[in-house]
Amino acid sequence: MSDSAPPEVILDHRCSNCPVRHHAICAVLDNQSSHALSDIMVHKQLVPGQPLWSDKDEAHLFAIIVSGTVKLFKMLADGRQQIVGLLFPSDCLGRAYSETQQTFAEAVTNVELCCFPRQQFEHVLTQHPELEHALLEKTLTDLDNAREWMIALGRKTASEKIASFLQQMSRRSELTRCPNHRPTPDLPTFVLPLARAEIADYLGMTMETVSRNLTKLRVDGVIRLIDGQTVEICDADRLASLAEPQ
């Protein structure tokens, strides 16, 4: 370790360049306190389809998503899958205060992670109540979102599920888009991070039904499918009324 480059400077630099520094839970830490995290941080890169862990693995990892999309999913013995969470930049990955995982986790796109050993992260949590509070707020929001999705899974029709999903993806993309990138002249456009089969696993239906309903929305002029992955919302009002009656 050279005396001309003390670790503090390097570590602080790593966080200050972080694109999610002010959106993730670590935002509540001042530069001083953030060293507690940056000291134990390790960066990791994932390629699409790369698993993070299996559902019965020990939970060693806690991470913050810097870029890309991660899916959390569960599986039945016969292979049926259900995606139970989609994680985007600034979201937390990993179950604090549990020795075991209860879901699978897998990169959907290329992913950059800011990783911490779980137990060391928990140690930082106990020493920084403001960080634990931020994690609580995030977890409460996750629970709200999970419950919001439960009414879609249990009570919405296939077409309502698709419309809700597109709304949700559109809203997400607004948040992650650079504010100066899209002033408002043109229609909301975004890239679906999930393949058709994954959308099906998220919505609790089959790939074929997903495809048929996307086609129907396209034919009806509600959306435009630019290249199969890219969606343009032509009629947001109609999409909203399809996502929820009335």
Alpha carbon distance 184, 217 (integer Å): 23
Among 40, 204, 207, 236, binds a second copy (CB under 8 A): 204
Q: Which does 240 bind (CB under 5 to 8 A by kind): DNA, a second copy, none?
A: none
In the block, tokens 């002010």 appear at 22
Backbone angles phi, psi at 44, to 5 degrees: -145, 145
Q: What is the largest CA-CA distance in the chain?
A: 67
* Cβ count near 195 (within 10 Å): 15
Alpha carbon distance 196, 234 (integer Å): 21
| Residue 209 near DNA by CB under 7 A | yes
CB 195 within 8 A of CB 207: no
Q: State both tokens at 97.
A: 């205060």
How big is the site for DNA, counted in residues (CB under 7 A)?
Answer: 21
3-class state of residue 72 by DSSP: strand
Q: How far is the CB of 230 from a second copy (least distance, A)?
A: 26
| Residue 102 near a second copy by CB under 8 A | yes
Alpha carbon distance 64, 34 (integer Å): 14
Q: Which does 65 bind (CB under 5 to 8 A by kind): DNA, a second copy, none?
A: none
| Residue 197 near a second copy by CB under 8 A | no
When the beta carbons of 84 and 158 are compared against DNA, the nearer one is: 158
Q: Which does 137 bind (CB under 5 to 8 A by kind): DNA, a second copy, none?
A: a second copy
Q: How far is the CB of 187 from DNA (least distance, A)?
A: 19
Footprint on residues 123-162 left by a second copy (CB under 8 A):
126, 129, 132-133, 135-137, 139-140, 142-144, 146-151, 153-156
When the beta carbons of 1 and 77 are compared against a second copy, the nearer one is: 77
When the beta carbons of 148 and 220 are compared against a second copy, the nearer one is: 148
| Residue 158 near DNA by CB under 7 A | yes
* Cβ count near 46 (within 10 Å): 20
Backbone angles phi, psi at 49, to 5 degrees: 90, -10
Residues that bind DNA (CB under 7 A): 157-159, 195-197, 204-212, 214-215, 225, 227-229
